[in-house]
Amino acid sequence: MKKRLLLTLSLLVAFAAGVRGQTTSGAYAFMDATNSARVAALGGTILPIYDTTDVQLAIYNPSVINGAMHNALALSYVNYYAGSNFATVQYARDFERLGTFVGSVQFNSYGFMDYADETGSLTGGTFSASDYIFDIGWGRQLTPKWSIGANLKLGGIQYENYHTFVVAVDVAGHYRTEDGWMLTLGARNAGVEVYNNLPGDKNTLPFHLSVGAAKRLDHVPFLFSVTYDNIQKWDLTYDDPLDLDGNYDPMTGEYREKKDAGKFADNLMRHVALGGEIYAGKHVVLRLGFNYGRRQDLKTPSKKGMCGFSYGVGINVWKLTINYSRSEMHICGSPNYITITTNLDRFVKGAK
One-letter amino acid at 173 equals G
Inside any domain, residue 298: no
Distance CA(26)–CA(153), nearest Å, equals 17
Find out whether 174 and 61 touch, Cβ atoms under 8 Å. Answer: yes
- CB 139 within 8 Å of CB 66: yes
Give the list of residues 6+ apart from residue 219 with CB closer than 8 angstroms, or none. none
Question: Which of 171, 157, 183 minimizes the C-alpha distance to 10?
Answer: 171
Q: Who's near 209: CB < 8 A, 6+ residues apart? A: 13, 16, 17, 186, 187, 188, 230, 231, 232
What is this structure's pTM?
0.86
For CA atoms 50, 51, 56, 58, give the dihedral sign: positive
Q: For residues 290 and 267, what is the distance between their CA atoms, to the nearest angstrom?
A: 16
Q: Which amino acid is at 246?
A: G
**Is residue 108 in some structural domain?**
yes
Nearest residue to 76 (alpha-carbon basis) of 64, 89, 66: 89
pLDDT of residue 290: 96
Domain count, the chain: 1
Residue 154 falls inside a structural domain: yes
Q: How would you label 219-234 residue by residue, b for 16+ Cβ within 10 Å and e otherwise?
A: eeeebebbbebbeeee
Residue 258, classed as helix, strand or coil, is coil
The verdict on residue 160 lying in a domain is yes
Domain that holds residue 103: 2-115+125-217+329-347
Q: Answer whether residue 106 is part of any domain.
A: yes
Give the 3-state secondary structure of residue 190: strand
Contact 184, 173 (CB under 8 A): yes
All residue ranges of the chain with pLDDT < 50 are 1-24
Identify whether 140 is part of a domain.
Answer: yes
254 belongs to a structural domain = no
Judge whether 158 lies within some domain. yes
